[in-house]
Amino acid sequence: MAATASEKKLLLGGEWIETGAWVEVRSPYSGEPVGRVARAGAAEARRAVEAAVSAMREPLPAHKRAEILVRVAGALGKRQEEAAQTISAEAGKPLKAARVEAARAMSTFTFAAVEARKLAGEMVPMDAAQAGTGKLGFTLRQPIGVVGAISPFNFPLNLVAHKIAPALAAGCAVVLKPASQTPFSALLLAELETEAGLPPGWLNVLVGPAAEIGDVLVEDERVRAITFTGSSAVGWKLAERAPRKRVNLELGNATPVVVAADADLDDAAAKLAANAFSFAGQSCISVQRVYVERSAYDDLVARFLPRVEALVVGDPADEATDVGPLIDRDARDRVLAWIEEAGAAGAEILTGGELEGELLRPTVIANAGPGLKVSCEEVFGPICTVTAYDTLDEAIELANGTRYGLQAGIFTSNVKTALEAARRLEFGGVTVNEAPTFRSDQMPYGGVKDSGNTREGPAYAVRELTEERLVVLEL
């Protein structure tokens, strides 16, 4: 087993339990075992919901919740390298990127702690209506109830943090199901939560068959909200199956970037190369489609390609590695098939397109038609297309030509162009002179169209996981 190999139990009602069955986790890079985790099924999921319901019978005051969240942030600070090594081992994420994720998780907990202390309703100006004269009205922000949280493999620590920290800040107990490929980072967070003094039942972590555990979260009426980050196919199905719950969805994207001729092309090329291939493109906001104004196209491509070719492909545990493996062989085969489809349709592979050992080299594709998968579906691999455009209208139409709408970006030195793009790009966020892969953890983050229906960032997630209760007093 690898250096971080371990055997972990599940957290259920404050107890670390074994179930007699195990989920094995292997390195996406070497195939070596990373460790194994006790496997939960429907029975454990029902017990976890019960434990969460019973925990919420004794609400934790906001100051206690904030103190616990701050302690977790502190503990994460102390164990940052261990967290980064865990992420890297189980997800195959290059250490450089894993360290950034571990640091970000600290800030997610810190912002959630702030929100716990700020959580408040608002005054209602009752005498603004004749009927309200003589009355005092205000709202209380109440926790929505037990939250079922489901997270993906690609940010196994910080996206789990974005699930559990705001839910706890809001006063909700959580039943968490992390991705089966990456449970160790989530269990590390669970350990830190219990060490920080979180009482039993407030956080329960289950690893096991998604459908079995997911069904309990969907069907049990006491789970009042499901917060899901993952693929659109799974997310929208969950929402359909749970019409009476709040189902918050953070889903995929096919991230576009527009580069105008007046942009700083060197800056754009550097940021695009760094953000199209980091973690082998397995970020929901990895740069995937670059549209360049025709007069600057050759220049931008000439600055971009050498930077892409200089990226170090290899072992994620190696300090120098920029691009590691895809999460599994199926993912790699799918991405290779999409490259082949583009090639067969007349697109030109400018670099990459083949394997280096077992790893897919960063790939840049020119002249990919708008109907190709690489041009409108989520690649989730180390591929980026480059396409020339003539007018801003055309660029915006191309960028919007996808069912997704999470984040998009534009590089330009003209404020008018930037603001016009920000208004017309149909995405939850637009970055200007920054790659749309940028995320800082307090930002409102989320998508439109198929990319989701909610906003994360602790301040926004806390709002989504609480309900306003109106109180009217007759004076």
Could you list the active site residues?
250, 284
Q: Give residues 282-311 in contact with ligand NAP (rule: CB under 6 A).
A: 284
The residue from 234, 419, 432, 448 that contacts ligand NAP (CB under 6 A) is 234
Distance (Å, whole) CA 76 – CA 86: 13
Residue 445 CB, nearest approach to ligand NAP (Å): 6
Q: Give residues 195-214 in contact with ligand NAP (rule: CB under 6 A).
A: 210-211, 214
The secondary structure of 34-82, three-state, reads: EEEEECCCHHHHHHHHHHHHHHHCCCCCHHHHHHHHHHHHHHHHHCHHH
Q: Which is nearer to ligand NAP, 160 or 172 (CB)?
A: 160
Q: Which is nearer to ligand NAP, 154 or 204 (CB)?
A: 154
Distance (Å, whole) CA 81 – CA 305: 33
Q: Which is nearer to ligand NAP, 66 or 430 (CB)?
A: 430
Residue 183 CB, nearest approach to ligand NAP (Å): 9
Q: Which is nearer to ligand NAP, 149 or 192 (CB)?
A: 149
The pattern of x and - marking residues 237 through 256 that bind ligand NAP according to CB under 6 A reads -------------xxxx---
Region near ligand NAP per CB under 6 A, out of 83-91, 230-238, 264-272, 341-349 = 230-238
The residue from 180, 351, 433, 442 that contacts ligand NAP (CB under 6 A) is 180
Distance (Å, whole) CA 372 – CA 300: 23
Residue 22 CB, nearest approach to ligand NAP (Å): 14
Distance (Å, whole) CA 237 – CA 233: 6
The pattern of x and - marking residues 145 through 174 that bind ligand NAP according to CB under 6 A reads -----xxxxxx---x---------------
Judge contact between 217 and 203, C-beta under 8 A: no
> Which residues make beta-bridge pairs with 37?
8, 23
The helix (H) or strand (E) run that includes residue 275 is helix 265-276
Binding status of residue 428 toward ligand NAP by CB under 6 A: no
> Which residues make beta-bridge pairs with 351?
364
The pattern of x and - marking residues 355 through 384 that bind ligand NAP according to CB under 6 A reads -----------------------x-x----
Distance (Å, whole) CA 384 – CA 257: 10
Nearest to 368 by CA among 353, 350, 386, 351: 386
Region near ligand NAP per CB under 6 A, out of 85-93, 188-196, 225-233, 409-417 = 225-233
Q: For 24, phi and psi rounded to 5 degrees?
A: -85, 140
Judge contact between 382 and 352, C-beta under 8 A: yes
Within 134-264, residue ranges assigned H as helices are 158-169, 183-195, 210-219, 232-241
- Count, residues near ligand NAP per rule CB under 6 A: 28
Q: Which residues bind ligand NAP (CB under 6 A)?
A: 150-155, 159, 177-181, 210-211, 214, 229-231, 234, 250-253, 284, 378, 380, 406, 452
